Amino acid sequence: MLLGGGDDDPLLSLLGETLPAGARVEIVTTAAPKHPVKTGQAYVAAVAEFGDLQGHHLRVDERFPGHLPATLRRLEEADAVIFTGGDQERITEHWLNTPALEVLRRRFYQDPHFIVAGTSAGASMVSSCMIVAGYGARSLTKGGMHTAPGLSLLPRVIIDQHFAERGRFNRLAHAVFQHPASLGLGLGQETGVVIRAGREAEVFGDGVVMVVDGRQLRNDNLGRIGRGEPVAGENLRVHLLVAGQRLDMRTRRVLAAESIGNPDIRR
């Protein structure tokens, strides 16, 4: 469950509807360097408001590295893990190449009941290719958009957040030009997607999700231009999706809209 930032109520409400009573939710504040305890406490209280859930603050950062036995045990026992917003590069700094990430990936891939959720930076980090910089018109020039490795929970998806509000189409399009096999998903604030088994994405929230599909991209100039020159290409496909609409992530087809209601994450 991935949200584009802003007010987290749509994500927390959906999580409360989906999880069974008494489910254990670990709230990870790695992306929030300044006030991790305060952020964690706020999320613990918010999780309790949106369902009969047990929220717990899990720190993985400079003081609590990703190999601690207690951290690994808690990840094994969690029904869901929420990554909060902040700086996505802090998430990769403290999670990549750790036993904690090994546990998270194994549970994500093998346990059909386990949920990984994230908002803003906590949504961007699920990609293999994670956008870390790019602003305005410059992000449509070579060198004007930068990516870094993410946690690779969704290997062929590129997530960008605060999408419409911060004018990030340029940088997501450029990222898809660079990685045309990957599907770009631009999440507006208070808007997100539920991705089931890596196959189907369903939109929730009040705004728009932009899908950028480069699988049929032709005649791009990335290999022929120098730094600072504008990028070009043909046949980039774009969809605008709202709540209830679904996308088949294998065929890249938009499916018929359905009311999200009380979604079953396991279907």
CATH number for 7 = 3.40.50.880
Does a structural domain hold residue 190?
yes
Task: Work out how many domains the chain is built from and give that number.
Answer: 1
Q: Which residues sit opposite 255 in a β-bridge?
A: 246
Examine the pLDDT at 115 and tell me if it is beyond 60.
Answer: yes
* DSSP track, the chain: -EE-SS--HHHHHHHHHHSPTT-EEEEE-TT--S-HHHHHHHHHHHHHHTSS-EEEEE--SSSS-TT-HHHHHHHHH-SEEEE-SS-HHHHHHHHTTSHHHHHHHHHHHH-TT-EEEEETHHHHTTBSEEEEEE-GGGGGBTTSEEEEE---SBTTEEEE-STTTTT-HHHHHHHHHH-TTSEEEEEPTTEEEEEETTTEEEEEESS-EEEEE-TT-B---TTT--TTSBP--B--EEEEE-TT-EEETTTTEEEPP---SS--TT-
Does a structural domain hold residue 202?
yes
Domain range for 15 is 2-255
| pLDDT of 34 | 85
Are the C-beta atoms of 184 and 127 separated by less than 8 Å?
Answer: no
- Model confidence at 51, in pLDDT bands (50, 70, 90)? confident
Tell me the residue type at 60.
V
For residues 251-261, average pLDDT: 70
CA angle 114-78-40, nearest 5°?
A: 115
Does a structural domain hold residue 263?
no
Q: Which residues sit opposite 26 in a β-bridge?
A: 56, 81
Does a structural domain hold residue 23?
yes
Does a structural domain hold residue 239?
yes
Residue 211 backbone dihedrals phi, psi, to 5 degrees: -100, 125
Does a structural domain hold residue 222?
yes
Express as a percent the part of the chain with pLDDT over 70: 96
Examine the pLDDT at 265 and tell me if it is beyond 90.
Answer: no
Give the Cα separation of 15 and 50 in Å (integer). Answer: 8
Give the Cα separation of 117 and 83 in Å (integer). Answer: 6
More confident residue, 227 or 262: 227
Does a structural domain hold residue 75?
yes
Examine the pLDDT at 259 and tell me if it is beyond 60.
Answer: no
Look up residue 102 and give its two tokens: 């090994």
Are the C-beta atoms of 189 and 2 separated by less than 8 Å?
Answer: no
- Model confidence at 198, in pLDDT bands (50, 70, 90)? confident
Q: Which residues sit opposite 209 in a β-bridge?
A: 187, 241
Does a structural domain hold residue 166?
yes
Examine the pLDDT at 64 and tell me if it is beyond 60.
Answer: yes
| pLDDT of 267 | 35
